[in-house]
Amino acid sequence: MDDRQTPSADRGYGILTKARLKRRPAIQPPETIFYNKGGEARPYRRHDRDSLMREFYCDAILFDLDGVLVDSTQVVERQWRQWATRNQIDIGAVMAISHGRRAIEIIQTVAPHLNSLAEATYLAAAEAADTAGLSVYEGAYHLLTTLPTGHWAVATSGTRAVASARLTHAGLPLPAVFVTADDVPRGKPSPDPYLQAAAGLGIPADRCLVIEDAPAVVTAGLAAGAQVIAVATTHAPDQLTHATAIVEKLSALRITVQPTAEYRLRIQLPTLV
């Protein structure tokens, strides 16, 4: 099998994946494994679990915010806990569905008797003002400043006020295309946020790569037609196996900008599966 195939060999699917050996040479030929997404066999080679390197080709990257670019776990849990206590709601029920979903939809699920719009507005104001414990993930700044304008976007379940406050506090650039809870009628796990982000960039969703952290919303990227890299920051890898690939951390990604190639971006990463 020729491991030197080019992006043009996979026209119509949008993003290519392949793997190369990056460690010690094999004494015997490597095992060939077929990775099947979207009905197509994707060959890659490996010697062992730790040596697997994958490559993706795409025209744009669509990022989730919380759990991918910034670690807002302390803020989110603190604010939801305070809200649940004030309204006498089971915090366990809230946290079980909170990752990656819009606040208004969470409130409609766990507290249908409340005015969901008023409560979501109250919660968003509290979250936007709370930055205690908020931090940026290693590699986020380098990654965003490496990507050319017009070839990356953020699609988040937070409101624009909350998301902007977190990006600014973390010292990250604001995206030219920024899809928030305020911009879509349906939030994740609906594919709408990622479809709108791709449309804002003027790039078909199947030529985009999504980076997500939560199992429920990995589905949103896949449903949009993109391939999805899951970052194992808020969930264990065994909860993210439906993603196209899983990495331990964002800083593991290596981006090469290809101005004259068929696909504008080349992404290399060591995967956990």
- Which two three-digit tokens encode residue 95? 């946290």
If we measure between CA atoms, which residue out of 61, 64, 81, 72 comes closest to residue 169?
72
**72-76: long-range pairs with CB below 8 Å, 24+:** 72/134, 72/166, 73/133, 73/234, 74/132, 74/133, 74/134, 75/127, 75/130, 75/131, 75/132, 75/133, 75/134, 76/127
Q: Which phi and psi angles does 16 have, rounded to 5°? A: -100, 150
Given the residues 10, 59, 66, 213, the one annotated as active site: 66
Kindly state the DSSP code that residue 151 receives in the 8-state scheme.
S
If we measure between CA atoms, which residue out of 105, 245, 91 comes closest to residue 188?
105
Given the residues 59, 64, 71, 130, the one annotated as active site: 64
How far is residue 240's CA from residue 218's CA, in Å, rounded to a whole number? 8
Q: Is 64 a catalytic residue?
A: yes
Catalytically active residues, by annotation: 64, 66
